[in-house]
Structure 1
Amino acid sequence: MACGTRSVIGAVFGPATTGELEYARRLAADLRAGMLLLGDRNFSAATLLNQLAATGADLLVRCKTNRKLPPVARCRDGSTLTRIGPLTVRVIEAEITIRTAQGTRTGRYRLLTTLTDPATHPAGELVRLYHERWEIETAYAELKSTMLGGRVLRARTPDGIEQEVWALLTTYQALRTAMTDATDSIPGTDPDRAGFLTALAAARDQLVLAAGIITGTDTDLVGTIGRHVLAHLLPTRRIRTKDRIVKRAISKYNARGPAIDRTTYKATISINMLTSSP
């Protein structure tokens, strides 16, 4: 998924007996030189990293902080170079602190990247960029909660499920294209400000009203969606302060744990780069 527009670059799916690392290997065919892949720590396996890097795309992937990565060189900014099989990667470690009126939380991050030159790709910029990986989680919510309303797929056969998933992704892609076209029409407008629920409602209204189906009339479905999106732009994206939490898929109540605090807090983030010993 593209971080900026949240449009789909590629998709694979199948039975749960196949692990997500295998599905990720199949998605390597969608990568090419000039791309920067952001991945979470479940995708930092050595074999997978080497396969993804072989496509020519660059990588920025989180890994576990207790993983042994013997340094082979030290960069001037305190990051280190290490080898994972034949692949040379740069190891960046940082503490990220978020402060709100409710208190302060600090977490430690370790990132692996094939962007090995600290002069052209400063560590602090890469740490801030990695936060964009969360965009795919937002897209999952749009697909499962907004479009499906938390319901399971209706098909009862494997072929039907495959057809339904592709239909869902195709509809999502069409909406994302219309939303991006709309925000691109106003220079400097971040695609993040386009409301997915607004676009979905506008598209549904066009179908319910059967607009533009009479022979000889001009159909402007994308334009209609775009006008609704631009008329209801969201405010600038807020800093995400909440941890991921397990909850029932079709319920607004927690499956377990404390009640969800839905209050919006003004937040500031600071990054402290951790350097290795000389």
Structure 2
Amino acid sequence: MDEIAIARTVTVAAGPFAAGHLGELTRLVPFEMIDDVLAATRRTQRRVRLLPARVVVYLLLAGCLFADCGYRQVWAKLVAGLRGLPVADPSDSALRQARQRLGPAPLRALFDLLRGPAATSAVAAVRWRGLLPLVVDGTMIAVADSPANLGRYGKHRCNNGGSGYPTLRLSALLTCGTRSVIDAVFDPSTTGEITQAHRLTRSLPAGMLLLADRNYAAADLIGAFTATGADLLIRCKSGRKLPMTRRRRDGSWLSVIDGQPVRIIEARISITTTAGSHTGDYRLITTLLDPRRYPAADLVRLYHQRWEIETAYLELKSTILGGRVLRARTPDGVDQEIHALLIVYQVLRTAMVDATDSRPGLDPDRASFTTALHAARDQITQAAGIITNTVIDLVGAIGERVLTDLLPDRRIRFKARMIKRSNSRYQTRGPRIDRRTYKATTSIDVITNDP
């Protein structure tokens, strides 16, 4: 029987630093970047231990890619491709003490370096009439039920008396076209989304168009957003009293909120599927006052991109975490883990954009996040693509997998909001719920009746 032997060369850092890598994603989070962050936060080890600080940073990042594994198992993934090298075999206690020595500051600083819009040549797919659409929203994430976490993150109140786990509230600012993270903050669930949104105004420069739901239409928050120079497109309650100062040709009208001139667009949106039709009225507030450059119907269509952040939160909480509770049992550990999670999400998104950019005209929406995640995991266990020569292929093995498994072009689809999984078996009783997703057609009519 014929046999073939395959020899594979793996290039990693020397000595105790060998286990510190993120597979091919190390190119986006290189050794030099980690070392600079450690130096800036004064977390570089005084002497080289079996677990240097740089290795611990990569361990925390890899832990987010393997959310179903304990840190000992994550360590096994990092060294799986390093057979033949004298790598350490740390205990659970050693790994825990190394994470505690590191603290949360290096992960915060690393996130600050990596956050921001992804560089892409697909301008038409990510910009709208010269503006970069962003979206802001919040979500809840469960943390480990430990005495230390309970002292910081309480349990969320609900009809049944309280949630099973302590929760935190994460609010993020994302680009709509590539779903890159511009900024993010998190606090106990008692801190509201409006308070967090005020803090996120630090990352809103001019040239941005911020999309948000009705919760963010408060007058003081609109003032804080516009003070940054960014433009707004926010939904508000249809019953809100707003004086009309002038009617525009496209059916929209001008008003003033807390001294800020705004334009109001009222529209009726009808969605038709094989199951029937559904019609709803929307009222939008925007600081884009020119109806010729920014027609009302086009703004209504653009507002649908607000849902991109819901997809991003699904990728964070379901695809990466698999619906699991965060591991960390202390507030500092939660700080580490949340920032590591955001960093991993960001570098995966960057790798996906690099891949789609290699094909002119390819929309970043066609890249599959799940494909990129699984490809990145494989590169870690193989210890592949860590150190490259002077010519760096921005696509790499992860990008090749993404391009091989592209998603189809987006279609207009409709699905009613519902609880997909009941909290109690008693809630499943009653009429059968239609959980199917339908192909849909939409029509938009701008309402011109006087308010």
> What interval of TM-score do these two structures reach, taking the shorter chain for normalisation?
over 0.9
Partner residue in 2 for 1:73: 246
Matching of residue 148 in structure 1 with residue 330 in structure 2: no
Partner residue in 2 for 1:239: 412
Structure 2 spans left out of the alignment, 5+ residues = 1-173
Matching of residue 265 in structure 1 with residue 438 in structure 2: yes
Instruction: Pick the aligned partner of 1:169 from 325, 342, 357.
Output: 342
Matching of residue 57 in structure 1 with residue 230 in structure 2: yes
Query: In the aligned structure 2, how far is the partner of 1:161 from the partner of 1:254?
Result: 34
Structure 1 spans left out of the alignment, 5+ residues = none
Matching of residue 188 in structure 1 with residue 188 in structure 2: no
Contact 2:251/2:296 (CA < 8 Å) preserved in 1? Answer: no
Query: In the aligned structure 2, how far is the partner of 1:258 from the partner of 1:206?
Result: 47
Contact 1:254/1:260 (CA < 8 Å) preserved in 2? Answer: no
Matching of residue 127 in structure 1 with residue 271 in structure 2: no
Partner residue in 1 for 2:198: 25
CA separation of 1:13 and 1:222: change in aligned 2, threshold 3 A: farther
CA separation of 1:3 and 1:254: change in aligned 2, threshold 3 A: farther
Query: In the aligned structure 2, how far is the partner of 1:38 from the partner of 1:216?
Result: 42
Query: In the aligned structure 2, how far is the partner of 1:127 from the partner of 1:216?
Result: 48
Instruction: Pick the aligned partner of 1:4 from 177, 197, 207.
Output: 177
Q: Which amino acid aligns with 1:60?
A: L
Query: In the aligned structure 2, how far is the partner of 1:72 from the partner of 1:215?
Result: 62
Q: Which amino acid aligns with 2:267?
A: A
Query: In the aligned structure 2, how far is the partner of 1:80 from the partner of 1:214?
Result: 58
Deviation digits for residues 25-48 of structure 1, max 9, x if unmatched? 000011011100000110000000
Query: In the aligned structure 2, how far is the partner of 1:201 from the partner of 1:87?
Result: 47
Query: In the aligned structure 2, how far is the partner of 1:191 from the partner of 1:221?
Result: 15
Deviation digits for residues 246-273 of structure 1, max 9, x if unmatched? 3449x9x996586664544331100011
Residue 93 of structure 1: how far off its partner (Å): 0.4
* 1:194-205 matched pairs, under 5 angstroms: 194-205=367-378
Equivalenced residue count is 276
Contact 1:60/1:112 (CA < 8 Å) preserved in 2? Answer: yes
Contact 2:269/2:442 (CA < 8 Å) preserved in 1? Answer: yes
Contact 1:101/1:265 (CA < 8 Å) preserved in 2? Answer: yes
Q: Which amino acid aligns with 1:66?
A: G
CA separation of 1:140 and 1:215: change in aligned 2, threshold 3 A: closer
Residue 240 of structure 1: how far off its partner (Å): 3.4
Deviation digits for residues 86-139 of structure 1, max 9, x if unmatched? 101100000000111111000110000000110110000000000001000000
Contact 2:273/2:438 (CA < 8 Å) preserved in 1? Answer: yes
Give percent identity, aligned residues only: 64
Instruction: Pick the aligned partner of 1:136 from 309, 318, 325.
Output: 309
Matching of residue 228 in structure 1 with residue 397 in structure 2: no
Query: In the aligned structure 2, how far is the partner of 1:214 from the partner of 1:56?
Result: 42
For normalisation by structure 1, the TM-score amounts to 0.92
Q: Which amino acid aligns with 1:56?
A: G
Partner residue in 2 for 1:41: 214
Q: Which amino acid aligns with 1:265?
A: Y
Query: In the aligned structure 2, how far is the partner of 1:94 from the partner of 1:76?
Result: 14
CA separation of 1:216 and 1:58: change in aligned 2, threshold 3 A: closer
Residue 242 of structure 1: how far off its partner (Å): 1.1
CA separation of 1:260 and 1:232: change in aligned 2, threshold 3 A: farther
Query: In the aligned structure 1, how far is the partner of 2:350 from the partner of 2:377?
Result: 16
Query: In the aligned structure 2, how far is the partner of 1:181 from the partner of 1:215?
Result: 17
Cα RMSD of the aligned pairs, angstroms, is: 2.4
Contact 1:183/1:194 (CA < 8 Å) preserved in 2? Answer: yes
Query: In the aligned structure 1, how far is the partner of 2:205 from the partner of 2:449?
Result: 32
Question: Structure 1 residues 66-75 or 211-220, which shifts more?
Answer: 211-220
CA separation of 1:80 and 1:139: change in aligned 2, threshold 3 A: same
CA separation of 1:166 and 1:145: change in aligned 2, threshold 3 A: same
Contact 1:248/1:254 (CA < 8 Å) preserved in 2? Answer: no
Query: In the aligned structure 2, how far is the partner of 1:221 from the partner of 1:259?
Result: 49
Contact 1:246/1:255 (CA < 8 Å) preserved in 2? Answer: no
Partner residue in 1 for 2:52: none
Query: In the aligned structure 2, how far is the partner of 1:175 from the partner of 1:258?
Result: 42
Instruction: Pick the aligned partner of 1:106 from 263, 276, 279.
Output: 279
Q: Which amino acid aligns with 1:80?
A: W
